[in-house]
Amino acid sequence: MGEFVGVDPENLKELTRRLEQLHELLARHSPLIQQKMQKWGSEVAVTSLPGLIAAALDDVRDMDARTTRAYELARQQGWSALGRAPGIPGLIYKRPPNVRLDWEATGQSGYQGKRDAETLTAALAAKDPQDVRLALLGLPDSLRRHLADKDYQAAFWAGAGPLALRAARALYQRAGGALFSAESLSVLRALGASLAAASQMRVGTGKDRRPLLPAATRATLTGSSDPWSVGMLVKYGPEGRSWDSRLLADLTRAMLDARAAGKTIWPPARGKLETNVDALRHQRLMADYDAVGAVLQRAAENGMAARHVLGDPATGLKYARMLVSDSWHTPGYDPGPFLSSYVRPGGALPPTGQVDLSAPTAAFLKAAVSAERGTSVDAKESAWSVVHIAQATADFSKLHPQTVLPREIRHALIYTADRYLPDFAASASHEFTASMAMQRGEDAASPWAPVVRPAELEALFGQALQEPKEFGAYKGKMDGRISVAVAATIKDPSDQNYLREMGGLYGMIQRIQGDHHFAEEQLKDEQATRTQTAISIVSGGFGALSFSNAFGPGTITQILVALAAPPLNAMFDTDFALQAYKSNADDFRAQVLHVEAPVLQGLILAGAITPPDDASWVKNGVVTRTAAMADWVSRHSDTRYLGKTFTEWVKEAQDAMRLQQ
Amino acid sequence: MSRRHLAGLLAVAVCTQMLASCTRRESPTSPEAGEAERRGQALVAVVQCFVDHNVLARSEAENHSWFENGKVQQTAALVDWASSHAETSFSGKTLQVWEDEATAGWPGWRCPL
């Protein structure tokens, strides 16, 4: 503080402009400069160039802040850009006077942030959207320039927070095709990017470390009376991983609460809806500018944000209930007014023209259960999310026994069931008081796992699986895991029997399928999908489970990961398997689904069988079913491997998957 | 026609009859779903039986949240414990076998120790 110097604001402005040009030029050409220098074997050290360029940007920011301050001081001294001069008619431009400026003062860019917040405040106060847009022309550039500038960000959001959140409502166009003009989009994008960047900034060190945005500012974000506008900042802001997960989680909760409370979450209607086409177009507009969906989408991209919301033991269930629902569509409209009076029936008509919006909801549910397995807090939140989603599904089915959830949401449930297959299998056979997430064996070194009541699992599978092919795919995934289940039963340091547990889960799924009473033709579909799925997993390599550190602390986590089937689309990439299946269906099916091969594979995986060096039926640890394999198996059917004969292992696998041969 | 084939046909006929009389699913009352209910209760009785007769040391049981004031609680932690001890031998039989027997005889099963 305290180094006052006299400056000419006009010259300072020119200096800033040239500095900025210089920085841009350097930044643009820096890769080429470095490349050429290296190519020519230059002795000049170019490695520090990127650092220097970054420093130049800081200088531009500082100079920009000083320029703004210089003009401000000039105005305080009574200067006005346009004035009258004696002897000259009309207004003329007047140079600002020299001012004295504190050159080194800290918080210069903070000052710029404050000024920009004031500009925004003044601009948004204008009634006419055209005036708003003009007043905000320079804002996006300034916001972008200060994206990494903590002083600026703190000052801007402290000053502009509540208003910036309402920008979308002030900026939208009252007529025309697009809801926002190109300039308005630029403002919304810049505000979104700035908010995302500010959300990730931290100040202080050690114990004192805290978010740059103070609690009060964050509260205005989440407590906004205009959730739709907030949603638009998030929609036009950057991808989910560029946001702070806590802020996105808070915003998600706020949006879901607002939606539940019936607040304005939809874009404003433009004009009166006079025809059926108008009404349909408005439904489309609502879908295109869906604020809740935008926030859910960003939180899903972020991943951890979704897990913060659904993985909270106290509040996660409440939000899971809102998400696992058939209400994810635009409200639709009453077609009555648009019908000819001759055909209009009496009474209210059911709403029509609803547009499905369940995709972001489904993406959010998937993200909520997608943490890497293990002992981390993230894994804990993921496990709790699974528990809450299962409970919410059971609640939904209880309230609406005849309603099937939208396809996207059902697929999120299938994804969850894939990912937590071994966990679901472990709790499918015993009823108990309350589902919860816990570390297996109540041991802090064990991975987090959801332990879900059978009644809730039934509800989850009852909703998730509806079509014969879906049943087939899920059973096929279980078939494809036989070898892993065999290996896991042996390798798991506890006395857990994965095969038997999968058998219990299989029974539950078979029972649910039975209730559907599929016709003969549909059952063929189911069987074909089951076989294809199993083949694509099996031929994709049994080796998904590698017990590199078989008895280390990570064994159970490895087992849980390996037993969880890969996502459906990844599985069906194995075109080769499907081709093989089609070309030689019966033969191939007999080969692959013959349970001896996967059991043998599992025993090899677990190290219980070491194939002879000259065995032709195993290549790189992968079993292929040949006559030589069959011969080897028949000669070893009564040999005991870890307490059971080979035949007993096969019998157990057959029982588990009802794969009678 | 072999006898086995005949039995199969009979089974199919009975199933078809049952299916026809069955309407929309009512999960908690179906006999198989009731199995999870019975198995859950049987597990509590079996583990209580182990503790009461010192087949499972009381001090070991007290290490777990499912054991409170001398009583085995039917909680998630108990199901998790049972999962990791399915093949553990207690008094000559695995937990799995104990549980299967108790479930088959439920609710009349009594601790035989």
Residue A629 has what pLDDT? 78
- Rounded Cα–Cα distance for residues A315 and A450 (Å): 17
Query: What sign does the dihedral A457-A459-A464-A467 (CA atoms) show?
Result: positive
Asked whether the beta carbons of residue B78 and residue A432 sit closer than 8 angstroms, the reply is: yes
Phi, psi of B25 (to 5 degrees): -60, 135
> Does residue A623 contact residue A542 with C-beta atoms inside 8 Å?
yes
Candidate from A432, A494, A495 with C-beta closest to B40: A432
Concatenated DSSP letters of A526-586: HHHHHHHHHHHHHHT-GGG---TTTTSTTHHHHHHHHHSPPPHHHHTT-HHHHHHHHHTHH
> Does residue A432 contact residue B83 with C-beta atoms inside 8 Å?
no
What is the rounded average pLDDT of the residues A229-252? Answer: 95
Asked whether the beta carbons of residue B85 and residue A495 sit closer than 8 angstroms, the reply is: yes
- Rounded Cα–Cα distance for residues A449 and A373 (Å): 8
How close A515 comes to chain B (CA, Å)?
Answer: 6
Burial A179-209 (b: 16+ CB within 10 A, else e): bbbebbbbbbbbbbbbbbbbbbeeeeeeeee
What are the distances in angstroms from CA A38 to CA A23, A52, A276, A555?
22, 18, 66, 48
Residue B14 has what pLDDT? 41
Within a 13 Å sphere around the CA of B66, how many CA atoms are in the beta-carbon half?
A: 25
Query: What sign does the dihedral B55-B58-B60-B61 (CA atoms) show?
Result: positive
The predicted-structure confidence for B85-111, as pLDDT tens digits, reads as follows 998 999 999 999 999 999 999 899 999
Task: Find the helix or strand (DSSP H, E) in which B8 lies.
Answer: helix B3-21
- Rounded Cα–Cα distance for residues A235 and A248 (Å): 12
Tokens 């995986």 appear where?
A605
What are the distances in angstroms from CA A411 to CA A1, A10, A464, A597?
61, 62, 7, 31
Candidate from B25, B32, B76 with C-beta closest to A462: B25
Q: Please tell me the pTM assigned to this model.
A: 0.77
Best probe of the B interface among A432, A460, A501, by most B CBs < 10 A, is A432
Which residues lie below 8 Å from residue A366, measured CB to CB, with a gap of 6+?
Answer: A300, A412, A415, A416
What is the rounded average pLDDT of the residues A200-224? Answer: 84
Q: Does residue A375 register a pLDDT over 70?
A: yes
Average pLDDT value over all residues in chain A: 81
> Does residue A67 contact residue A9 with C-beta atoms inside 8 Å?
yes
Asked whether the beta carbons of residue A462 and residue B76 sit closer than 8 angstroms, the reply is: no
- Rounded Cα–Cα distance for residues A229 and A127 (Å): 17
What is the rounded average pLDDT of the residues A482-503? Answer: 78
Residue A114 has a CB neighbour count (10 Å cut-off) of 20
Best probe of the B interface among A395, A431, A451, by most B CBs < 10 A, is A431
Residue A345 has what pLDDT? 62
**CB proximity B56 to A under 8 Å:** no
| Percentage with pLDDT > 90 across chain A | 30
**CB proximity B37 to A under 8 Å:** yes
Query: What sign does the dihedral A165-A167-A173-A178 (CA atoms) show?
Result: negative
Which of A146, A237, A224 minimizes the C-alpha distance to A191?
A237
**CB proximity B18 to A under 8 Å:** no
Asked whether the beta carbons of residue A430 and residue B39 sit closer than 8 angstroms, the reply is: yes
Residue A330 has what pLDDT? 94
Which of A503, A391, A367, A396 minimizes the C-alpha distance to A451?
A391
Task: Find the helix or strand (DSSP H, E) in which A259 lies.
Answer: helix A245-260
Concatenated DSSP letters of A207-252: GG-EESS-HHHHHHHHT-S-HHHHHHHHHHS--GGGS-HHHHHHHH
- Rounded Cα–Cα distance for residues A60 and A426 (Å): 61
User: What are the chain B neighbours of A485 within 8 Å (beta carbons)?
Assistant: none
Task: pLDDT band for B5, please (50, 70, 90 cuts).
Answer: low
- Rounded Cα–Cα distance for residues A170 and A183 (Å): 13
Q: Does residue A204 register a pLDDT over 90?
A: no
In the structure encoding, which two tokens stand for residue A418, read together? 């894939």
Task: pLDDT band for A560, please (50, 70, 90 cuts).
Answer: low
Residue A563 has what pLDDT? 61
How close A352 comes to chain B (CA, Å)?
Answer: 29
What is the rounded average pLDDT of the residues A46-65? Answer: 75
Candidate from B27, B41, B82 with C-beta closest to A462: B27
Which residues lie below 8 Å from residue A431, measured CB to CB, with a gap of 6+?
Answer: A453, A454, A455, B36, B37, B39, B40, B41, B74
- Rounded Cα–Cα distance for residues A572 and A569 (Å): 5
What are the distances in angstroms from CA A593 to CA A271, A536, A563?
63, 11, 18
**CB proximity A427 to B under 8 Å:** yes
> Does residue A233 contact residue A168 with C-beta atoms inside 8 Å?
yes
**CB proximity B100 to A under 8 Å:** no
Q: Does residue A197 register a pLDDT over 70?
A: yes
Alpha helices in A94-222 (DSSP H): 108-125, 129-135, 139-145, 150-164, 167-171, 182-200, 215-222
What is the rounded average pLDDT of the residues A460-476? Answer: 91
Q: Which residue has the higher pLDDT, A462 or A560?
A: A462
**CB proximity A497 to B under 8 Å:** yes
DSSP assignment, residue B71?
E
Q: Which of A60-74, A106-120, A564-578, A630-644 has the lowest average pLDDT?
A: A564-578
